Chains A and B, each alone.
Chain A
Amino acid sequence: SITGACGAIQKLTRVRVVDNSSLGNTPYHRPPKCIHVYNKTGVGKVGDTILLAIKGEKKKALIVGHKMPGPTMTPRFDSNNVVLIEDNGNPIGTRIKTPIPYILRQREGEFSKVLAIARNFV
């Protein structure tokens, strides 16, 4: 995306879908944008769910990495990465090539299916 300033994910941020789902990878004249963050504060960090607007549809997604520097020893990615998810937590794609931070393993219960399709960890 073209945003210059560093920031975690909030409403109207353009995001990059990282899994190999058809919804995320087919080109569209508008980039996928965040419409709502499921958090008390409107700011989404790694491991938060957000509502995404892709190709005129609303879809939930999980944040796997953002440009904003977090706590030390955690990775900071060069783009805001997101994995498309259903309402019950099942990922839509079948493979995730980009690296995923190890911190997501802390909540193994909710994200076990997403972590199962991930290939690289950082």
Chain B
Amino acid sequence: RINSDGKPAKFQPPPKPVIIDKQKQREERRFLSPEFIPPRGRTDPLKFYIERKDMIQRRKVFNIPEFYVGHILAVTTADPYANEKTNRFVGICIQRGGKGLGATFVLRNVIEDQGVEICYELYSPRIQAIEVLKLEKRLDDNLMYLRDALPEYSTFDMNMKPVSRLEHEEIPVNKLQVRMKPKPWSKRWERPKYNVKGIKFELPEKKMKEAQKWSRPWLEFDMLREYDTSKIEEKIWKEVSEELKK
């Protein structure tokens, strides 16, 4: 090879190809639905085992997708009093409650300036389809404060198209700080008991300091309230994944 000057250029080796071994790098993302984890108590584990078998049976027939609080879902239920016997509702999931077969999730939407919330049971045979329209985790576990927030944060179009998402990627966390309607609110969200991170408090400093009077910092060190679920989760995850693969 000759340079533009006319002198022979130094030998440059070709760039080495970078091999990304996707098989190894892809860490399996496990998601165990929170209703599988048994609550803390003195009930016989046999009861939870039987419930789990029933839950897995239902999941084999009907696909319940992975979703967290803050996702936008569209649920079609069978309704004898509706046209075409099906009822479709789109909304943001504000809360997931209950354990076992009675697990529920609440969807909220604002239709024609009227806020509507519907509490659905995950394992109810009336539900015909659950579609995840938008995957988005929020800063909190419980979005009940959306009831006192401006209605624009809870409005979602009924005919929203599902947002496409690549698999094996982290679920994005939306760090949205929600603006509230003027006080009074249904609950005093500024108090540390609710531990709300997703609100933009526009209250004076004095009120925020006064709210901290109700903080109980000794609660996190209370040993009697500890409930370590890591080992229980491992066992249940193995059980559930084995059963679902069959």
**B 92-140 contacts with A by CB, 8 A:** 104, 111-121, 124, 126
Q: Decide: A73 and B121 in contact? CB cutoff 8 A.
A: yes
Taken together as a complex, chains A and B put the C-alpha atoms of A104 and B80 apart, in Å, by: 11
Q: Decide: A78 and B114 in contact? CB cutoff 8 A.
A: yes
Taken together as a complex, chains A and B put the C-alpha atoms of A99 and B81 apart, in Å, by: 15
Q: Decide: B77 and A122 in contact? CB cutoff 8 A.
A: no
Taken together as a complex, chains A and B put the C-alpha atoms of A106 and B121 apart, in Å, by: 22
Q: Decide: B112 and A120 in contact? CB cutoff 8 A.
A: yes
Q: Decide: A99 and B82 in contact? CB cutoff 8 A.
A: no
Q: Does B71 contact A (CB under 8 A)?
A: no
Q: Which residues of A contact B126 (CB under 8 A)?
A: 73
Taken together as a complex, chains A and B put the C-alpha atoms of A103 and B118 apart, in Å, by: 13
Q: Does A49 contact B (CB under 8 A)?
A: no
Interface of A is mostly: loop
Q: Which residues of B contact A103 (CB under 8 A)?
A: 81
Q: Which residues of B contact A75 (CB under 8 A)?
A: 116-118
Q: Which residues of A contact B112 (CB under 8 A)?
A: 97-99, 120
Q: Does A113 contact B (CB under 8 A)?
A: no
Task: State whether A99 and B114 are in contact (beta carbons under 8 Å apart), knowing that A4-B184, A78-B147, A106-B81 are contacts in the complex.
Answer: yes
Q: Which residues of B contact A102 (CB under 8 A)?
A: 79, 81-82, 87
Question: 1/0 per residue A1-28: CB within 8 Å of B?
Answer: 0101000000000000000000000000
Taken together as a complex, chains A and B put the C-alpha atoms of A74 and B115 apart, in Å, by: 14
**Number of B residues whose C-beta is below 8 Å from A?**
23
**Number of CB contacts from chain A to chain B under 8 A:** 63
Q: Does B145 contact A (CB under 8 A)?
A: no
B106 to nearest A CB, angstroms? 9
**Of the residues B79, B104, B113, contact of A72 by C-beta under 8 Å:** B104
**A 26-82 contacts with B by CB, 8 A:** 65, 69, 72-79, 81
Q: Decide: B147 and A72 in contact? CB cutoff 8 A.
A: no
Q: Decide: B82 and A73 in contact? CB cutoff 8 A.
A: no
Task: State whether A77 and B115 are in contact (beta carbons under 8 Å apart), knowing that A103-B81, A121-B82 are contacts in the complex.
Answer: yes
Taken together as a complex, chains A and B put the C-alpha atoms of A65 and B111 apart, in Å, by: 13
Taken together as a complex, chains A and B put the C-alpha atoms of A2 and B111 apart, in Å, by: 20
In the complex, which residue of chain A has the Cβ closest to the Cβ of B117? A76
Q: Does B4 contact A (CB under 8 A)?
A: no
In the complex, which residue of chain B has the Cβ closest to the Cβ of A107? B81
**A 83-105 contacts with B by CB, 8 A:** 97-99, 102-105
Q: Which residues of A contact B159 (CB under 8 A)?
A: none
Question: Which interface residue of A2, A73, A120, A122 has the most chain B CB atoms within 10 A?
Answer: A73
Which residue numbers of B lie inside 8 Å of A, CB to CB?
A: 77, 79, 81-82, 87, 89, 104, 111-121, 124, 126, 147, 184, 186
**Which 10 A-B residue pairs are closest in the complex by CB-CB distance?**
A78-B115, A105-B81, A98-B114, A102-B81, A76-B117, A75-B116, A99-B111, A75-B118, A102-B82, A72-B119
